[in-house]
A and B are shown apart, each in its own frame.
Chain A
């Protein structure tokens, strides 16, 4: 049995804390200790019982930070890009060679907000109590990146049952623009848990495009809570390709708090063996004339489990909201599972909201057609799965990025 009460000593270990920060962290830890790891008793976690998953796969909480001696990272070729290299949550190097460096400010994350907040997710409290690594990225007003920024999130081979708490913040000032590829590279062959909290602020008319991509199959357990605040006419779009880890849960919350702001979430995953992956979104339409679009596609095989929980909330003043949500899944085996929970909560009367969810096995007529052209059943299935998932990258404009993603996506399909 794992002792799930975490000692305050873990906070003491963190050096150079101010009094107020220490108090804040202690409070967060107390709340976490009271709530424990999320379990299926919580509605939001009914498909992903972290308490059970953690107990089954880990022997203890190990919050020790790990410095990796070297980062065995293969940089993306054939794509001109800026980069930040983050190793086990800590920024180790960066290069903004295509940009005006004065317009960009990258520092280690430092929390300055010690106010008490009500969170629905106990892992956030744990993160706030113990996070010691992370970055803060600020982009100045009117600055538009010339090339894409690749954030290499490297998890080193030294990791062994470590529980990492990482906290990042990204702020795009008024009228700025940034395109990011968050590339997750795991070198460790052991289990580890990465608990990330990320806050992204888009000021008026700022544009952020974000691609999240896992590089390889690994024994990592990932949880990421991300909160996005969108001001007037700002635009956020993301493509999430999270195949690879044993466990991966995204808890994503979008506040469309400025008029005419827009967000778009597109996800495509292939899950194999006993992978478990969940994407949970909450899109809050808090101002009029905002748009949101979500399309989540999953292919589950083996004994894997895919989950999508998507909620659209429309506040009474958020008239002329245009919200769309769709999830589609293909089940390749009898023991695979897909759970979907779409939810709409609407308090405005002049809105356009639609949602849909479908799941089923692979289309036999399509298999027949492909086989009648000489492809065997496995090849036909693979081609169909690839086609099903690849549609998600059609909307990406850059040919170089598209090509890179296509190669990665194809290699993820087993």
Chain B
């Protein structure tokens, strides 16, 4: 699904990723853990195609080079980034935006666009699963949403858009334990043999609920250690200083 070889990335002359390697196959869930400033969010941004980064190395998604593909095309081809800090967009109604987004992606997949009525059905079902108040969706996108609501809204988008590669950028941060379980459940029920997850997190907490296949430790823009869930448990005990 995703193959990264020797990836470097810098922004404003500052090098953040220093030769990162990772390979994610369909059906796998990888967790990337690391201290502040290790390059976790940069990795998420670079994968989504955010402007402003200078990169080198190989970035392959479904066997195709990602480097020259724009943000929106990446999304249309099935890459989804759940933002660490979802942007507040005044004036844009959440459900209108979601429908526009879904139809863009369906169109790119060669599927028929959904009409307002079918969309309402989809959104009702998915928001119920996440314990979200439907009324929230007629509000302006992320405006005045609590931290938990914003994160749930990201997971809702993930469920609606049904992507192939999901990057969760610290989706667990700022969530209470109930919201965390809901988010984890949202991820678990979306997992299947065809899609892959890259979960970026500080803590083991989320991983207790979503059980990763692989755990990597990122430090100074490089993966310095890889393992399974045991590595996350070890990290929780010793902290990053015990490993780095």
Q: A369-B83, A383-B100 are in contact. Are A375 and B50 (CB under 8 A)?
A: no
CB distance B91 to A389 under 8 Å? yes
A334 to chain B, nearest CB (A): 18
Q: List 12 A-B contacts (CB under 8 A).
A: A368-B51, A368-B71, A372-B49, A372-B71, A372-B80, A372-B81, A374-B75, A376-B70, A377-B72, A384-B92, A387-B90, A387-B140
In Å, the complex CA distance between A380 and B101 comes to: 10
Q: A374-B72, A374-B75, A387-B140 are in contact. Are A369 and B87 (CB under 8 A)?
A: yes
Interface presence of A170 (CB below 8 A): no
Interface residues of A in 371-405 (CB under 8 A from B): 371-377, 379-380, 383-384, 386-391
Which B residues touch A368, using CB under 8 A? 50-51, 71, 87
CB distance A375 to B100 under 8 Å? yes
In Å, the complex CA distance between A383 and B90 comes to: 10
Interface presence of A365 (CB below 8 A): yes
Residue of chain A at shortest CB distance from B48:
A372
Which B residues touch A379, using CB under 8 A? 100, 104
Interface presence of B196 (CB below 8 A): no
CB distance A386 to B101 under 8 Å? no
Number of A-B pairs whose CB atoms are under 8 Å?
A: 76
Interface residues of B in 80-94 (CB under 8 A from A): 80-81, 83, 86-87, 89-92
> B86 contacts which of A369, A374, A388, A391 (Cβ < 8 Å)?
A369
> B90 contacts which of A365, A377, A391 (Cβ < 8 Å)?
A391
Interface presence of A366 (CB below 8 A): yes
CB distance B76 to A383 under 8 Å? no
Q: Which residues of chain A have a CB within 8 Å of any CB of chain B?
A: 363-366, 368-377, 379-380, 383-384, 386-391
CB distance A386 to B89 under 8 Å? no
Which A residues touch B141, using CB under 8 A? 387
Mask: chain B, 82-114; 1 = CB below 8 Å from A; 0 = not: 010011011110000100110011001000000
Interface presence of B42 (CB below 8 A): no
CB distance B91 to A366 under 8 Å? no
Interface majority SS (helix, strand, loop, mixed), chain A? helix
Q: A383-B97, A383-B100 are in contact. Are A371 and B90 (CB under 8 A)?
A: no
**Nearest 3 pairs between A and B by C-beta?**
A387-B91, A387-B92, A374-B104
Which A residues touch B161, using CB under 8 A? 373-374
CB distance A374 to B90 under 8 Å? no
In Å, the complex CA distance between A390 and B50 comes to: 28
Interface centre among B76, B80, B87, B89 (most CB of A within 10 A): B89
Which B residues touch A364, using CB under 8 A? 51
CB distance A365 to B91 under 8 Å? no
In Å, the complex CA distance between A370 and B87 comes to: 9
CB distance A387 to B89 under 8 Å? yes
Residue of chain B at shortest CB distance from A391:
B91
Interface presence of B157 (CB below 8 A): yes
> B76 contacts which of A366, A374, A377 (Cβ < 8 Å)?
A374
In Å, the complex CA distance between A370 and B89 comes to: 9
> A375 contacts which of B83, B86, B91, B101 (Cβ < 8 Å)?
B101
CB distance B101 to A371 under 8 Å? no
Which B residues touch A390, using CB under 8 A? 91
B236 to chain A, nearest CB (A): 31
In Å, the complex CA distance between A366 and B108 comes to: 22
Interface centre among A364, A365, A374 (most CB of B within 10 A): A374
In Å, the complex CA distance between A370 and B108 comes to: 16
Residue of chain B at shortest CB distance from A297:
B91
In Å, the complex CA distance between A369 and B89 comes to: 9
Which A residues touch B105, using CB under 8 A? 373-374
A305 to chain B, nearest CB (A): 23
In Å, the complex CA distance between A245 and B23 comes to: 57
CB distance A373 to B75 under 8 Å? yes
In Å, the complex CA distance between A389 and B91 comes to: 7
Residue of chain A at shortest CB distance from B74:
A372
Which A residues touch B49, using CB under 8 A? 371-372
Interface centre among B74, B83, B91, B105 (most CB of A within 10 A): B91
CB distance B104 to A366 under 8 Å? no
B90 to chain A, nearest CB (A): 6
CB distance B87 to A366 under 8 Å? yes
Which B residues touch A387, using CB under 8 A? 89-92, 140-141
Which A residues touch B89, using CB under 8 A? 366, 369-370, 384, 387
> B72 contacts which of A375, A384, A388, A391 (Cβ < 8 Å)?
A375
Interface residues of B in 10-47 (CB under 8 A from A): none
Not counting A369-B86, A372-B48, a sample of 9 additional A-B residue pairs whose C-beta atoms are within 8 angstroms of each other reads A372-B49, A372-B71, A372-B80, A374-B72, A374-B75, A374-B108, A384-B89, A387-B140, A388-B90
Which B residues touch A369, using CB under 8 A? 83, 86-87, 89
Mask: chain B, 111-155; 1 = CB below 8 Å from A; 0 = not: 000000000000000000000000000001100000000000000
B70 to chain A, nearest CB (A): 7
CB distance A374 to B101 under 8 Å? yes
B8 to chain A, nearest CB (A): 21
Which B residues touch A386, using CB under 8 A? 91-92
CB distance B72 to A371 under 8 Å? yes
A190 to chain B, nearest CB (A): 36
Residue of chain B at shortest CB distance from A373:
B101
In Å, the complex CA distance between A384 and B93 comes to: 10
Mask: chain B, 62-82; 1 = CB below 8 Å from A; 0 = not: 000000001110111000110
Mask: chain B, 46-64; 1 = CB below 8 Å from A; 0 = not: 0011110000000000000
In Å, the complex CA distance between A387 and B81 comes to: 23
In Å, the complex CA distance between A379 and B81 comes to: 19
Which A residues touch B51, using CB under 8 A? 364, 368
In Å, the complex CA distance between A380 and B72 comes to: 10
Residue of chain B at shortest CB distance from A365:
B87
B153 to chain A, nearest CB (A): 11
